[in-house]
């Protein structure tokens, strides 16, 4: 790059809020062409800026790690904290100047935008008057946060105020009370003060917390619900545009009298066994259109937060109360999505909602059920095709029906030579049922009958185990598992590639 230059060129390059795909075309080109790549980091040596730029680096580049001598700790420097930092910046500038004087082009990496609370500006102030310098802007963290929230920052004649969380609490509260929208950066240790200032300004209920926006580790939540101990430096508070941002009124207590129908509805949505790839387009549309989301907390956590929507997380053992709450909200005019893992009609929320919906007071509230991929089908697909012929589905839980009924159904299915898909095989309080079911099945099935244990299928902890009925170890089974027990015709076959498949032929022996 520097054949015709006496000295190198200095570039301050903004990398955006964290997603490497949000790096501009110009920034990516300059990072790849530079002789020297400089980046700041704390003493642990990890640099967010470098990790974002990593896809665009090339072999042979010189890397200058500008490691802060301190961050928030005390120092014995005669000039105090500021004196120590000023000396650090001066030393960094000298290191970069040596490269520039040697004719090497230097790119200083910076998260977000280099001149928007960026670390690069300290090099700019010390070097830009001595060397040819260009700043390449980047997507700011504020823009990234608004994008992932899906809410405008400002509209029409509104004003946006950007504040550092390091300001005194009374100054924060005063500025927040006087603006339409606001972004507060540099949270971390300042979070509690910022939260108190938002409350003092009467803006806490409007504020959203955004952590590591646009990255795989991003977190979004109403700011009032965030634990201060969980807040890192790379997070911000955002009050989006107030236009059309009024929250729905809280759900009202159900009255004994009949509830009159409104324009709302309840949609019971099957999420499938794990994340978004298992979600049907129809279910995605229903979730996107909903005003209120109701469900067991871990299932709600699968759905990305939307500031327009209210979430109502509940325990997994209050299905009737959850259903009534959903119907009350719909009767008051809300579009309500009740979420279930897998398919809502298979040991899940659809029957609970419909049972309550059949009460006279909810007679006029519309209810729809949207199917989802079942856990049984997900596990079967991973194993091969064990459900290729007739099969039955049953729950091993005896919480809602006597064990005698469960045992009779296991024996009946075994006698009928049906493949079994067994849900809810075990939990912390139910530990003996798997062994009891195995013993019942062995009265009618051969010991070598194939058994598939699928755990957390589609999730980060997915495991698939193929064993036999005689060798089935109950200790391997917990509530996150589903069992598939083969019929007399189910086969386990090792293939030429070393893989193993389990399938039940469609043709039954004469």
Report the distance separating Cα 81 and Cα 72, nearest Å: 9
User: Are the CB atoms for 324 and 255 separated by under 8 Å?
Assistant: no
Q: Which 3 state secondary structure label does DSSP give 322?
A: helix
pLDDT digits (tens, 9 = 90+) for 136-149: 999 999 999 999 99
Instruction: Tell me: pLDDT of 252 over 70.
Output: no
Q: Which domains does the chain have, with CATH numbers?
A: 10-139 (3.40.1010.10), 142-239 (3.30.950.10), 265-370 (3.40.1010.10), 376-503 (3.30.950.10)
pTM above 0.85, yes or no: no
* pLDDT confidence bin for 254, thresholds 50/70/90: very low
* pLDDT confidence bin for 259, thresholds 50/70/90: very low
Give percent of the chain above pLDDT 70: 94
Given this model, what pLDDT does residue 304 score? Answer: 84
Given this model, what pLDDT does residue 5 score? Answer: 54
Give percent of the chain above pLDDT 90: 71
User: Are the CB atoms for 226 and 191 separated by under 8 Å?
Assistant: yes
Instruction: Tell me: pLDDT of 381 over 70.
Output: yes
Provide the 10 A C-beta neighbour count for residue 260.
11
CA distances from 10 to 34, 85, 103, 338, 413 (A): 10, 21, 11, 55, 75
Given this model, what pLDDT does residue 247 score? Answer: 39
> Mean of the pLDDT values across residues 487-502?
91
Instruction: Tell me: pLDDT of 250 over 60.
Output: no
Residue (of 327, 402, 339) closest to 369 by Cα position: 339
Least confident of 103-107, 166-170, 475-479, 482-486: 475-479
* pLDDT confidence bin for 253, thresholds 50/70/90: very low
Instruction: Tell me: pLDDT of 230 over 60.
Output: yes
Given this model, what pLDDT does residue 74 score? Answer: 64
Report the distance separating Cα 151 and Cα 210, nearest Å: 12
* pLDDT confidence bin for 263, thresholds 50/70/90: low
The residue among 252 and 83 whose pLDDT is bigger is 83
């Amino acid at each position: 790059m520097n054949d015709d230059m006496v000295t190198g060129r200095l570039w301050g390059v903004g990398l955006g809020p964290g997603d490497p795909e949000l790096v501009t075309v110009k920034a990516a080109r300059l990072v790849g062409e530079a002789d020297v790549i400089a980046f700041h980091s704390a003493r642990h040596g990890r640099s967010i800026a470098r990790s974002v730029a990593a896809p665009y680096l090339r072999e042979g580049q010189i890397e200058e790690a500008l490691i802060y001598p301190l961050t928030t700790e005390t120092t014995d420097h005669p000039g105090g904290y500021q004196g120590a930092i000023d000396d650090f910046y001066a030393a960094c500038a000298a290191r970069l100047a040596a490269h520039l004087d040697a004719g090497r082009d230097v790119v200083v990496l910076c998260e977000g935008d280099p001149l928007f609370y960026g670390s690069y500006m300290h090099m700019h102030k010390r070097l830009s008057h001595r060397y040819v310098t260009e700043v390449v802007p980047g997507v700011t963290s504020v823009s990234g946060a608004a994008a992932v929230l899906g809410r405008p920052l400002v509209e029409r004649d509104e004003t946006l105020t950007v504040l550092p969380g390091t300001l005194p609490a009374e100054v924060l509260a005063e500025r927040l009370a006087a603006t339409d929208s606001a972004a507060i950066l540099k949270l971390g240790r300042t979070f509690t003060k910022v939260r108190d200032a938002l409350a003092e300004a009467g803006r806490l209920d409007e504020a959203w917390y955004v952590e590591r926006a646009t990255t795989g580790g991003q977190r979004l939540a109403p700011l009032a619900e965030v634990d201060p101990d969980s807040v890192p430096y790379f997070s911000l508070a955002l009050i989006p545009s107030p236009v059309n941002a009024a929250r729905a009124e809280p759900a009202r207590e159900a009255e004994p009298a009949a509830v009159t129908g409104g324009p709302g509805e309840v949609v019971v949505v099957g999420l499938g066994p794990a994340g978004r790839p298992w979600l049907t387009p129809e279910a995605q549309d229903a979730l996107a259109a909903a005003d209120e989301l109701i469900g067991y907390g871990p299932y709600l956590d699968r759905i990305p937060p939307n500031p327009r929507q209210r979430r109502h997380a509940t325990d997994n053992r209050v299905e009737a109360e959850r259903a009534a709450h959903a119907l009350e909200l719909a009767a008051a005019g809300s579009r309500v999505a009740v979420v279930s893992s897998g398919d809502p009609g298979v040991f899940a929320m659809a029957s609970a909602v419909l049972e309550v919906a059949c009460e006279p007071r909810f007679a006029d509230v519309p209810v729809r059920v949207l199917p989802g991929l079942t856990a049984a089908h997900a596990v079967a697909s991973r194993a091969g095709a064990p459900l290729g012929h007739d099969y039955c589905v049953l729950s091993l839980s005896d919480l809602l029906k006597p064990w005698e009924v469960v045992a009779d159904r296991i024996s009946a299915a075994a006698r009928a030579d049906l493949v079994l898909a067994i849900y809810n095989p075990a939990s912390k309080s139910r530990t003996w049922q798997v062994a009891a079911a195995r013993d019942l099945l062995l009265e009618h099935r051969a010991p070598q009958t194939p058994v598939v244990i699928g755990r957390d299928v589609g999730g980060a902890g997915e495991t698939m185990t193929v064993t036999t009925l005689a060798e089935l170890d109950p200790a391997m089974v917990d509530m996150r598992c589903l069992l598939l027990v083969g019929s007399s015709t189910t086969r386990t076959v090792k293939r030429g590639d070393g893989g193993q498949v389990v399938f039940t032929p469609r043709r039954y022996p004469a």
